[in-house]
């Protein structure tokens, strides 16, 4: 009896999944993409800090130790929808900031700290 209920539930889910894209007037591929976007959004809402945190490979353009700022250049960051650009960020990682120089390639850890994007860590790439 339990097996038949499971099979019935699976069959109903398959029928529903097949019908939803047609009812919405979109292709199955578009429906799957929208579903994946919804899942990503739900995960981001469940853990906003994880969604606001990313590691990015960058090139150092300028180091300002006195103001604790780092100017970097990077390619597009698809995870957070950021295009390629050059930007200056405040950094809370000052211990190693003095070791960086123009042209260095590093991986930075960036977080959204209350609406301010901040570098909270970096490591040299060899």
Residues 67 and 103 in one domain: yes
Residue 53: name the closest of 122, 125, 124, 118 by CA. Answer: 118
- CA–CA distance, 82 with 99 (Å, rounded to integer): 27
Q: What CATH number does residue 62 fall under? A: 2.40.50.320
- Give me the numbers of helices (H) and strands (E) for the chain, helices first please: 3, 5
- 3-class DSSP state of 102: coil
106, 58 contact by CB (below 8 A)? yes
Number of CB atoms found within 10 A of residue 49's CB? 10
Residues 64 and 28 in one domain: no
Residues 28 and 8 in one domain: yes
pTM as predicted: 0.52
Residues 58 and 116 in one domain: yes
Total domains in the chain come to 2
Region for 114 from its dihedrals, namely left if φ exceeds 0, alpha if ψ lies in -120 to 50, beta otherwise: left
Residues 78 and 117 in one domain: yes
- CA–CA distance, 15 with 7 (Å, rounded to integer): 12
Q: What pLDDT, on the 0 to 100 scale, is given for residue 43?
A: 62
pLDDT tens digits, one per residue of 24-80: 566 767 767 776 776 666 665 555 555 567 888 999 999 999 999 989 899 887 766
Range of the domain at 28: 2-46
């Amino acid at each position: 009896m339990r097996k038949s209920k499971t099979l019935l539930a699976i069959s109903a889910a398959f029928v529903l999944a097949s019908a939803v894209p047609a009812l919405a007037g979109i292709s199955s591929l578009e429906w799957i993409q929208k579903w994946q976007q919804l899942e990503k959004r739900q995960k981001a809402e469940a853990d906003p800090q994880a969604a606001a945190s990313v590691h990015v490979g960058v090139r150092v353009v300028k180091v300002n130790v006195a103001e604790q700022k780092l100017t970097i250049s990077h390619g597009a960051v698809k995870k957070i929808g950021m295009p390629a650009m050059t930007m200056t960020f405040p950094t809370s990682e000052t211990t190693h900031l003095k070791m960086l120089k123009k042209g260095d390639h590093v991986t930075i850890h960036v977080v959204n700290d209350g609406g301010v994007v901040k570098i909270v860590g970096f490591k040299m790439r060899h």
